[in-house]
Structure 1
Amino acid sequence: MVTTSQTVDYVGKAEKGDWIEVHTDVQKVGRSAAFANCYFHVGSRRIARASAVFSVIAS
């Protein structure tokens, strides 16, 4: 896979020493493209969202 597009939206902040959890949601994997979102949390607070589109390359 090769990254075609990637964006990050910041909606909060983490302090030094905070534990950051990342949850990934793979939306779709097709023959030529794949789509996913990642959500970054400190506790129950969402601090960022990243989304990406990948080109699927046959090996």
Structure 2
Amino acid sequence: MAFILAGHPTKGADAARSLGNETLDRASSVKGKLSSGIAERARRRRGDEEERDEEG
């Protein structure tokens, strides 16, 4: 990456910005996947608790 940033100042800034944007996109994607998984697990737990309440 250093060879990209060492050249023209504008190109280096563009490369850094691009890398930052890609990293932010990946982080947002992971965050969405994690929150979806947690929400799904919570829904399943609530469903299990409701079934136990109906049986008990």
**Normalised-by-shorter TM-score class:** under 0.3
TM-score (norm 1): 0.21
TM-score (norm 2): 0.22
| Between structures 1 and 2, the one with greater strand share | 1
Q: Which protein is bigger by CA-based radius of gyration?
A: 2
Higher relative contact order (CA 8 A, sep 6+): 1
